[in-house]
Structure 1
Amino acid sequence: MTAVETPEATLEPRVRRPLRLAELWLLMLAVAAGVGAFALVGMSISDALPTHFWFESLALVVLALVAHVVVRIRAPFASQTILPAAVLLNGVGLAMILRIQESGARGAAGADVVRNTQWSALGVVLACLVLWFLKDHRSLRKLTYTAMFASLVLLALPLVPGIGRSINGARIWIHLGGFSMQPAEFAKITLTVFFAGYLVSNRDTLALAGPKVLGLQLPRIRDLGPILLVWAASLAVLVFQRDLGTSLLLFGIFVAMLYLATQRFSWVLIGLLLFAGGAVLAAEVFPHVSQRMTGWLHAFDPAVFNARGGSGQLVAGLFGMANGGLFGTGWGQGFPYLVPFSFSDFIYTSLAEELGLTGMLAILLVFLILVERGLRTAITVRDGFGKLLAGGLAFTIALQTFVVVGGVTRLIPLTGLTLPFMAQGGSSLLSNWIIVAILLRVSDSALRPSTLPVRGQVGQGRIAPADGEHPGVGNADGEHPGTAPIQVVPPRVGGDL
């Protein structure tokens, strides 16, 4: 068999797998930060290691190593900063939950670090399974409309009598077999898959058709159908489930992915106008939305502060952050447990009090690195579906982080969403670890060198568009045309940081 006839399958082993040493070192630092925080919590509160120190530390080390090995085997060319960033955020979040639980305060009764560690372990296991069995992210495109159906089912489950539950006024939970879960956390993933598959097939129509008014390329009326449908679905979540955060998240993901697919600012403007109009209407018609708006605008008004469901929790969080100052009170030295739900919805204010403004910015920087790696993956990957999928998932983490941090700092109204990887909650941990796994898979595809026969000889390289070719999202099917000239770019064997 000549070199030209050699099948690609026989060439794949010749691509040397990177050692991923950078990821290993970063994981060691991430685990050390978590274990160190566990120890500081106990030493500050009782001058001894906390009750669950060895369990938490061993669990964090094992989970990080298992995830690293699976990534090393199944996605060796993926970005080497995505996994350490997720482990660092998860570890610091567990340390804060442990700190609140160890305080023994009445307001800390719901904190359960052991249970949250178990959910973290299950999330890492699910991420490893996704990496192991999802060999090519493009296979998800075949599930475009299946993902749409699954999304509708997941969003409707909390409304089903018998399994749906209302907690704190929001009907976003289901209870099955003694376990509670938020289906909307998984719907954000399936919706992103659906949006990516739908938009990669219809982006030419959305981007090119329609009149131009005042410098903006407006869509045709019939092309507004999908965005109006998603707008109606997000308002339905807001009205029937009383969940402002999920409504904002779902609609924001779709508008962001529309912009990624079409590069038309008019879609963003239309989306913002539609959501703003819907939010104003909901604030006038529905009491629970009006209550959130009043608590945001008049947080320090005594009548609002003392009202049931008023701004007391928000103001307590603000005072906690003020108490933290620039460098914080230190692990175990503050009073974060005075804020209701300090281990879930308000965990960011708890971290801000004990780590200070410096710690807040460091945590936001880690989130920024995670999102930047996702967007970099979207830029690098060569198929249109992968670009939209990675960009949508990265924006999901970015938007959820902004909504949570903006809510507790009173930049925007409180929404009830949880901070990814850090807040107590099984559904959030599972869904966000699945997002990490998909980003790693797409990143591996983007950075993996392709093995191609070049001029009668076996060569290794990465397919790139020739000079003058558009390196964007490809043709209408999301792939580069097979007739395009091919250049071979030398592979980056060491992976990408």
Structure 2
Amino acid sequence: MRKKVKISSSLLLVFMFVILELSLFFFYKDMKPTQNFIYYTAGVLVLIYLLNILLIKISPKADRYLNLIVSMLFSIGTFEILRLDETSGFRQIIWISIGIIVFYLAIFILTAMKNKFNKMFFIVLSLIYILFIITLVLGKTKYGARNWIRLGPIRFQPGEFIKILYIFLQAIYYKNYKRYASIKFGPEIFTLISYSFIMFFFLQKDLGSAVIIYGMMMFSEFVFEKKKYLKYVNLLLAVVMSVVSYYLFSHVRVRVLSFINPWDYMDGIGLQITQSLFAISSGGFVGTGIGLGLPNTIPVATSDFIFSAICEEMGTLVGIAVIMLFIMLISRMFKISLKSNDTFYKVLSFNCAVLFSIQSLLILGGVLKLIPLTGVTLPFVAYGGTSILASFIVLAMVQLSSIEGEVDG
């Protein structure tokens, strides 16, 4: 009963936060308040309610706070996108609606398949290679990366789903580690398979996804792999590959040059990062105010640089709040992994946490000029249908681990 009261109070707090965000729009410079924003806010409130209340009814063992944190994240992102472009904001609400449906469908489907995962290693592996081949053959180039597929009016990034499949592949592998390790050079072969995925992403010029796959491979090996030498060999290979990639791939050199000194390339490759830094600095601690900044001067402000736009108009105060929300989200994912008695769900939730950790670090570090830009998006916050759907599937995987993971196995 006490837990239910806590959840209700937390949900009420999220509702109040969303209503506060709406109120800021009425101070929008030269804005005539319209009913549309009332409808959008009502839509966001309904989505938050569905994401949190239905989960409580489905399973008492699910981690309710994960969904509350996600609700805060997508509400901040949605309102900033609405301010930047009302049409994109409306589409984002539609994608979040679809994402929530996919979230519950994923929990239902994955629960029904929970006894079949052990036999699906080669099926999952085949699906990954099929998606890579389709992307290389039919892929369209956008923002320098050949990682988009167009099917009529629908565009999506197969790479987002490849990362999810890779998480399943690792969970199946480590769940059956003794069987695969008994094969001659079994762990080495699995490592080579992971490197093949990294090379495919390099061929697509999708540096962010390549780094994420490498990160998930390395962290999993440090925690679950029993052959210690593999960890150190892969660390050495990372250094070698980074140097070789710089000289072999021009798009890698471009990212590094724009990171080292973007001010020399403000009219070209350094435009994104310089505009991002200008926006964040002009916002200060409390921001310029909704509608009073110039976030539209930042290239792709609704997706890759949404964090910069948030910091400019809502201030570094809200920017820090977003970072803290991600820290809470990821720490709860790791906590679920630690509590799990089933190796499959332990590895599954662990790699979901690693995925969000690396993805968040890459994009936040990129827009703050701490590391080179890699072209990934901020989960649940940035605009993008594929990113939203993939993020909700990952959330479903973690919730499944919370529900099923305490069963001994």
The residue number in structure 1 matching 2:161 is: 186
Distance 1:25 1:393 in 2: 28
Distance 1:384 1:137 in 2: 16
Q: Say which of 265, 277, 288 aligns to 2:240.
A: 277
Question: Structure 1 265/402 Cα, relative in aligned 2: closer, same or farther at 3 Å?
Answer: farther
Deviation at 1:122, TM superposition (A): 0.3
Contact 1:334 1:354 in 2 (8 A): yes
The residue number in structure 2 matching 1:255 is: 218
1:281-360 aligned within 5 A: 281-301=244-264, 304-307=265-268, 310-360=269-319
Distance 1:234 1:60 in 2: 37
Secondary structure class of the residue paired with 1:81: helix
Structure 1 unaligned runs (5+)? 1-16, 103-110, 210-219, 451-462, 464-478, 480-497
The residue number in structure 1 matching 2:23 is: 39
Distance 1:379 1:54 in 2: 42
The residue number in structure 2 matching 1:60 is: 44
Bigger Cα displacement from structure 2, 142-151 vs 332-341: 142-151
Q: TM-score, normalised by structure 2?
A: 0.92
Query: Is 1:87 aligned with 2:50?
Result: no
Question: Structure 1 396/20 Cα, relative in aligned 2: closer, same or farther at 3 Å?
Answer: farther
Query: Is 1:201 aligned with 2:173?
Result: no
Give per-residue Cα distances to partners, 1:255-291, cap 9 Å, x unaligned: 2222221377754443333233222212211211111
Q: Say which of 132, 149, 152 aligns to 1:177.
A: 152
Give per-residue Cα distances to partners, 1:20-62, cap 9 Å, x unaligned: 4433332332233234223313432345435631222122122
The residue number in structure 1 matching 2:130 is: 153
Question: Structure 1 52/228 Cα, relative in aligned 2: closer, same or farther at 3 Å?
Answer: same
Distance 1:83 1:44 in 2: 30
Give per-residue Cα distances to partners, 1:315-362, cap 9 Å, x unaligned: 110111111222222222221111011111000111111222221111
Question: Structure 1 39/440 Cα, relative in aligned 2: closer, same or farther at 3 Å?
Answer: same
Distance 1:50 1:295 in 2: 41
Q: Say which of 131, 134, 137 aligns to 2:107.
A: 131
Deviation at 1:187, TM superposition (A): 1.1
The residue number in structure 2 matching 1:226 is: 190
Distance 2:63 2:2 in 1: 11
Distance 2:261 2:367 in 1: 14
Contact 2:74 2:380 in 1 (8 A): yes
Question: Structure 1 271/333 Cα, relative in aligned 2: closer, same or farther at 3 Å?
Answer: farther
Q: Would you tell me which structure has more helix in proportion to its own residues? A: 2
Secondary structure class of the residue paired with 1:306: coil
Distance 1:439 1:88 in 2: 18
Contact 1:75 1:131 in 2 (8 A): no
The residue number in structure 2 matching 1:440 is: 399
Contact 1:173 1:180 in 2 (8 A): yes
Query: Is 1:118 aligned with 2:94?
Result: yes
Question: Structure 1 202/296 Cα, relative in aligned 2: closer, same or farther at 3 Å?
Answer: same
Distance 1:350 1:334 in 2: 8
Secondary structure class of the residue paired with 1:44: coil
Distance 1:201 1:27 in 2: 40
The residue number in structure 1 matching 2:327 is: 368
Contact 1:31 1:91 in 2 (8 A): no
Contact 1:253 1:395 in 2 (8 A): yes
Q: TM-score, normalised by structure 1?
A: 0.76
Contact 1:329 1:356 in 2 (8 A): yes
Contact 1:374 1:439 in 2 (8 A): yes
Structure 2 unaligned runs (5+)? none
Secondary structure class of the residue paired with 1:300: helix
Which of structure 1's runs of 4+ aligned residues deviate more than 6 A?
Answer: 203-206
Deviation at 1:137, TM superposition (A): 7.5
Secondary structure class of the residue paired with 1:24: helix
Q: Which amino acid aligns with 1:53?
A: F
Distance 1:77 1:232 in 2: 38
Question: Structure 1 232/132 Cα, relative in aligned 2: closer, same or farther at 3 Å?
Answer: closer
Contact 1:170 1:242 in 2 (8 A): yes
Deviation at 1:222, TM superposition (A): 6.5
Q: Which amino acid aligns with 2:149?
A: I
Question: Structure 1 265/24 Cα, relative in aligned 2: closer, same or farther at 3 Å?
Answer: farther
The residue number in structure 1 matching 2:121 is: 144
Q: Which amino acid aligns with 1:291?
A: V
Secondary structure class of the residue paired with 2:147: strand
Question: Rg bigger for which structure?
Answer: 1
* Aligned length, in residue pairs: 408
Q: Would you tell me which structure has more strand in proportion to its own residues? A: 1
